[in-house]
């Protein structure tokens, strides 16, 4: 299925709130991703997503609508050569290879745009689909931090996957 990455638009708020207002998505996100997810949440997020130059957060557009988001977040201070990757996609588009391709595209964008040497992602230990996406996109598992996350009344493992610029250059 075709997709494209693009900046979020104000008019995306309604559809974004409909897609994001899904417990099956929210359960794998930090608590900063609210549930229920309203149009006001979407508008605030879109304003934040468009506040960076260069752009760091993009809509994943599928079938002409913003069906998810993907972002690269450069770190600061002694972590400044690293960036964190985060993403989500509307449930109706799961299992179609969209996120795996979008992750690869964002990795290329991240290394081309920012002065970084490592991109990492931190899926929950129970988010098997996200772990598969990262492995498919060339990330490697660095470590598992046992029971470090607390979400919905339970302790969860945090997994750290990464891809390094020098690994891509040798391929």
Annotated domain spans of the chain: 4-169
Could you tell me which of 24, 6, 18, 16 has the C-alpha nearest to residue 130? 24
- The owner of tokens 């931090």 is 145
Query: For the whole model, what pTM was predicted?
Result: 0.94
User: Partners of 74 in the beta sheet?
Assistant: 83
Cα–Cα dist 134/131, whole Å: 5
Fold of 4-169: Aminopeptidase (3.40.630)
For 136, the token pair is: 């498919």
The tens digit of pLDDT for each residue in 140-165 reads 999 999 999 999 999 999 999 999 99
Strand 82-89 relative to strand 118-121, pairing: parallel
150 pairs with which residues across the strands? Answer: 155
pLDDT (average), residues 3-7? 98
pLDDT higher than 80, residue 169: no
Q: How high is the pLDDT of residue 168?
A: 75
**Where does the pLDDT of residue 166 fall: very low under 50, low under 70, confident under 90, or very high at 90 and above?**
confident
Cβ-Cβ contacts under 8 Å for 4 (sequence gap 6 or more): 60, 61
């Amino acid at each position: 299925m075709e997709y494209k990455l693009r900046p979020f638009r104000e008019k995306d708020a309604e559809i974004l709130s409909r897609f994001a207002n899904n417990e099956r998505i929210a359960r794998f996100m930090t608590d900063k991703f609210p549930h229920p997810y309203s149009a006001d949440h979407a508008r605030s997020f879109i304003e934040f997503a468009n506040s960076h130059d260069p752009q760091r957060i993009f809509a994943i557009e599928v079938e002409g609508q913003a069906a998810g988001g993907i972002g690269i977040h450069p770190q600061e201070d002694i972590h400044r050569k690293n960036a964190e990757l985060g993403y989500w996609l509307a449930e109706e588009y799961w299992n179609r290879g969209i996120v795996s391709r979008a992750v690869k595209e964002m990795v290329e964008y991240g290394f081309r745009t920012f002065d970084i040497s490592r991109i990492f992602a931190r899926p929950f230990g129970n988010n098997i689909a996200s772990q598969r996406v990262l492995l498919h996109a060339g990330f490697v598992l660095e470590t598992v931090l046992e029971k470090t996350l607390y979400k919905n009344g339970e302790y969860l493992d945090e997994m750290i996957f990464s891809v390094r610029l020098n690994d891509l250059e040798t391929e």
